[in-house]
Structure formats: structure tokens, C-alpha cells
Structure 1
Amino acid sequence: MLRSGTMISLHELKAEGKSIREIARISGHSRNTVRRYLRSDGIPEAKPRPSRPSKLDPFKPQLQDLIRQGIFNCEVLLRLLQDQGYQGGRTILKNYVKDFRPPRQAPAIQRYETKPGEHAQVDWGICEYIDLDGHVRKVPVFVMVLGYSRAMYVEFTKRCDIHSFLRCLIHAFKYFGGIPKIMLTDQMKTVILGMEDDRKPRWHPLFADFAAAIGLIPKVCRVRRPQTKGKVERGIRFVKENFIPGRRFVDLGDLNQQAIHWCDEKNQRIHGTTGERPCDRLLQEGLQPLPDKERWMKYLQEPRRVSRDGFVSYDGVRYGVPWRYSGRDVTVREIHGRVEILLDGSPIAIHEKVHRSRAVVPLPGQYTGLVAASGHAHPRPQARQIPSYDVEVRSLDYYEQLAEVGV
């Protein structure tokens, strides 16, 4: 059958007054073909050919039974039919099965909606930025999304460790004004150390203590099922596609301030799924009230050891402490933009938070008295020389009498 474009060219040649013989010579088709297409009003329909019997015909009932069972793999079908005596080939089998094969599609899922205050989803993401030297750097981002209201909290960190995670959780709960009943996460190494034989997660002991202290129930979603926590997955993609591009910031503190303002704006927009503003639905969440400060304050502390030169490393910054605490084990906590260094619960140094990596922040009077003490925080055990007139002079007879008494 000729294409429509070829048919148009044949009619154009006829309109130019050319004969059938000349048109056949120019187009390369036979005169009968040219004559048939020029005489037809439209595209001539091909006459149906009578179907010829095939070797597959006797086995079509068995083949239909296999297809109804969901078997469409022609290799499997060929083997099963050959066991029943089929002598035909694979091609005729494929041509027959393709009309019954269902279209490929992802398995359908049910949307997971939750009640107010029931659960939140959390996860880590990795964003990129260009530093002052023109190098591409990566920065972790923590995202929490409340399941009912879709309210979102975003915080950038320098690390993805357990202490950073707990700090971000506390900041998120304070931002939302309460705590959900359930927190859903994937099998992130930050909080899950492994799986038990019964497939239950083995939580990080510090995280488990934290969850029990504030009344939070942690749950883990199934492996390779990202749609289980699709709300936070979309939240991370939203940060990467909407917040980060073109963003200009001075340091991590400035970036987090911008992230909070951005969250405030986005939580006031009409959400595409709920059709309502997350900030309005947040009022309906009915979150658990925040616990007393003493119940979660200890989870903001990280253990550190003071170096010989009197510094403590925290988030890539070295903060100074009095030299007399060199070599001691201390704890560091970050509160209201300040870094406090404590020994036995009492602060020994307080600094303003510095976000510039590898910065050194000395403490005023950090080395006072170092030279006089020769670098020793405590007096070394020593003997003491006394004047000669203070020594009592005794005769040898006195010691001989003492020896006799001993005998």
C-alpha cells in the first residue's frame, strides 16, 4: 500500500497532464498500480487476506488459560506448550500473546493519611553550594514534615551524627510548638544500628533514651519503600529545587536563618494536596506539649576532651578554655547561639557560636598563670629543704637505747 504522500504526488502528475505510462515511469510503480490509485476516491483499503491455519491453533485454549493465570513470559509459555506437544516456533507465539499482554505500570498504592498530631516524617538530604574559593561543597540538611498539617521544618548542619540529629529534633519540636506521637524514619545509620533477628530495629541507645524521655514513639518504614514517607521525600526535593538554587549566604548560621524564614513563608501557602495552609492545619494538630527543659537539656550536650593547648573542638571550630583544664573530659552544649563548655555540670567557658570551619576562638585570660606553674595545673609532689638550726642534734647513745627497747 502506498503512502499518502506518494498518492498526492501521483495526483499532482496527473493534474499536470501526464499519461499513465509516463506517471508509472516517473514514480517507479506499475501502470496498474498507478491506475488503481488514481481512480480511487481515497486511500484504497487492502483486501483482508484469508487467515491460514497455524500450528498454534490447537493450543490456543490452553494458552488462554495460562494467560488468565497472569503468565505472559513467552519463554515459559513455549516450554509449557511444548510439553503438551506444540511443534511451532516462538515468533508466532509472541505475535499472539502481545495482544493480551497488559500495559506496564507501577503497582498502585493507597495514600497514607494520618490524624492530627499522630505522626511526623524525618530524613536527611544532601545539598550543594559553591564556597568562596569556587569549590563545590556538600552540606547535610535535616527536614521534618508533620503528617496532617504538612508543616515543614528545615535545618542545615555540618554533620549527620546522632548529636546533630537530636539537636535538630529538639529545634523542630520547639518550632512546631509540640511533639507528635510517632516519628517515622527510614533505616538511617544515625539512629538505627542494625536489625534484630525478628526484623525489629536496634535503635541507638542515646536516641532510644531521648524518645522515651519526651514520649516519642519511633518507627521505621520498610526497605526500598520511599513512598511510605513520601511527604518528607518531597520536602527534601522541595528544598533542593526551591530553596537552594541561587541562594546567597555568609555562613551556616545565616543559611539556617534564611531557612527558617523560608519555612515560615511556605507554611503559609496553600498546600497542593490538602488545599489548606499548613500553618492553619498546624493549629489542629494537637501536638503533645513540650516537656520540661530538664528532660531534654542533657541531650543537647556532647562529650569532648580538652587538648593540651586548652581548646575544645565542636562543629569544626576550636573553642578555648582555661589552660588548667587541659586533658580533662568536658561536655559541650549549644544554647541560644552560644557554646557552653561544662565540667561536672558547671560552665568553665562560654563563647558565641562561630560557624566558620577551622576557626580558633580563644578565651580571654586563657593562659593566665601558665608560665608560673610551668604548665602544671596541680602542684607536683616535692621535698622541702629546711634550715640546719631547725634540726635536733642527738647523741648516738639515744639511738642505742631505742634499739635495745626494740629488742
Structure 2
Amino acid sequence: MHLSINLTTDFKVDSLTDLSKYKLMMESLGMKINKSELARQLKVDRRTVDKYLNGYVSSKSRSRKSKIDDYYGVISLLLSEDSPQVFFYKRVLWQYLKDNHGLDCSQSRFRSYISSKPEFQSYFSNGKRTPSAKPVLRFETPPGEQAQFDWKENIKYITRDGEIIYVNVAVLLLSHSRFKAFYLTLSKSQSVLMSFLTETFEALGGVPKILLTDNMKTVMDHPRTAYSRGVVNERFDHFSKDFGFKLKPCEAGKPQTKGKAENVMKLLDEIHAYQGQMNYEELHEFVQTLCERANHSYHQGTGKIPILALKQEKNLLQPLPRKSIRDSYKIVHKPVKVNPSSMITYQSNQYSVPPEYKGKTVGLQIYDDHIHVYYNTALIARHPISQLKLNYDPSHYEKVLSMNMYEGIDTDEWSKRNLEAIGEVYKDE
């Protein structure tokens, strides 16, 4: 039998990856390969051509170490079950590492890194919140028109000393500029609420026309529902009239009505990243740091920076009521001088403050059975009202002691011993 077979010997070389097949074809035909000509055609070195002719295959992906890998151990510890710290969002973990461990990378790159590590991604996936199926209608308000108020409430926090406290953060947001004011407190009383609003309105230099709130008991005696307008608390009604704003409570069960304030609450989840790291005074300062950061950051929804957008909105706020009216709603702020022993006096009893405020004038606010000591706007000390003559915060006493002791002395042990002795001397007076 005689067979006639037509062979096509045309072969097009478009890239280096074609060279191994080209070599097989040329060898089967008994033809010599012109490597120099191939190098000129492909615009590469002759040695590169030789390497690919011999079957070299380049790696499709580079195995390059990420600089975030240096933080693998820290991330593992922070996300472990043994850590008291909680990170609800990758953004919060990124910010924590950036602020406390020197991480230097973009948030998007960090999020991608976490997503690529199943052991880390599972931490966030397990607690993932289910988005609402209902679409939310977005609307904007003109400058000076509306502010929204809400509480981030009952946040369980473990202090550096192991004390468990439940804190609340009051949040006021101007709807147009997205400028925010935060205030950390242990109480959600009506007096605290009205004092916060008063001092915030003063800081803004005016009052919005509408205040949007939920149906909190300090504002509403009976909630607004789909079938009822609700009943505003009498004292808060007087407050709103004195300041000239219209109170607009949300319909019960529809928190999305004040969605701008609700979105801010996610920022405050960063508090949980510092569980066990701070005392109450430091936590108060940290909340103000969060507020300042948010006000100086680009807002994706408006395309503006809130602190800059505020300049336009301030001019369109309503004027403040006279000072006597404003003062009637403030928690009394009494100026006192810190004595040489770093103590202030209230009702003939003395309470400690950090030694760096010795000789300075500080402010006292009394509410919720506690003395709150401020220097400018910073909370520097907090004491329960006591019948003891001398009331020391151990950390204050230890700092004073360390400034007057020789090196090598255990100031912690000395302070404990001395405080016990002081307590024995003054407890029966």
C-alpha cells in the first residue's frame, strides 16, 4: 500500500513560549535552528532563546513576601480567642496596627492580605452581619437644616486594671457637612444629654433647625409609631423651644431614618480594639481622638472633609439663645486650683489628680455621684463622691511617689503600703 501524506512545515513563532515546539519540529525535519535570527526577531538575547528552546517555562506568579507578613504573629495574637480585644472590621484592625505597631500600607492592600489568609478571614466571616434586604432611600439636607443624635450605648469595656464598666457615647452629627461631636459617659441621663447638646451647640456657634432622634426615654414619654405622633417629654420640649429647634423623633422600628448617625456607630466599634488597654480617663481621650480623625477624613458619601464643610454650614445655623438660658442646662462646671500635693478639694474632702496639673486651675463637674475633673476639655480624673478626707487614685499616687523616690525602689509596693496607711488614719474621721 502506498500512502501520500501532505505535511505543512510552516510554523509561526510569536513568543518565547513557542520555541520549545519549534525545536521539536525542526529536529523532526533534521533542520538546524538559527538562534541569532530568532533573537533578532523576538528582540531578546541569544541566551534567552537558547533557554526557551531547551524547555524553560517562566513562573506565572511571583513568590514575593508581603511586608505585612512581618505582622503575622501580632495579627494572630490579636485575633486569637485568648485576646480580650475585639475587631469587628478589617478597617479597625488595620488602624490599630497602624497606630500601635507601625504598619505602613494602604487599607485596601491590608484587606486583600487578610482575605488571602483563611485563618484570618474566618475571624471576620464568622461574625459577618447580614445586610438588610430592603433598599434604603438616600437623601441629603441643606446646610444648617438638620442634626441627628444617637447613643452608642452599653459598651462593655475592661479597663487596664481589670475593672468592667459599661460606657455610652453620645453622638451628634450635622447632616449636611457630616461634622461629628462625641462624648463618653457612664450615664444616659437627661441632664447629661442636654448638657452635651448645649455645649456642642455652643462649640458650633449655632443651632440646627431640626434635631432627629430615636424614641429614647429622656426625650419621649411615648414613642412615635406608624399610628401615633408620640408624646415628647415636657422638660425636653422646653429645652427644644429654648434653643429654637424642632424635635423630629424617628418612627419606632425604623432606625434607617437617621442612617447618617447610625453609620457613625461603626467608627466607635474601634473601642473594642483597646479592651484592657486604658483606664476611663484615657478611654475618654481616645473617643475624642476618633471624633477628630473622622472630622478630618475624606467622606466618600459627600466627597468633602467634614471639618472644611462645617465652615459653610456654621453660617446657616440658627443663633444661640442667651447665655443665662444655655447655662441653665449645663452641668455645673466649677473652677478649682490643684494644691501642691496634686489634690483638689470638694466639700472639705480632697481628691487626687495627675501630678503634672499641680498648681493649675481645673474644672469640676458633679453628676452620677461622681466628681469629674477636666483640664480644658480633657477628662483627667474621676472619683466617686466620698466621706474620706483624702481620696487617692493609686496611679496618681504612684506617679507622685516616683518623682520623689530613689532609683531601684519598688514604687508600686510603696504606694500600696502608704495608701493602706493613709486609709487607716482617715477612715474614722
| TM-score in terms of structure 2 length | 0.46
Q: Which has the larger radius of gyration?
A: 1
**TM-score under structure 1 normalisation?**
0.49
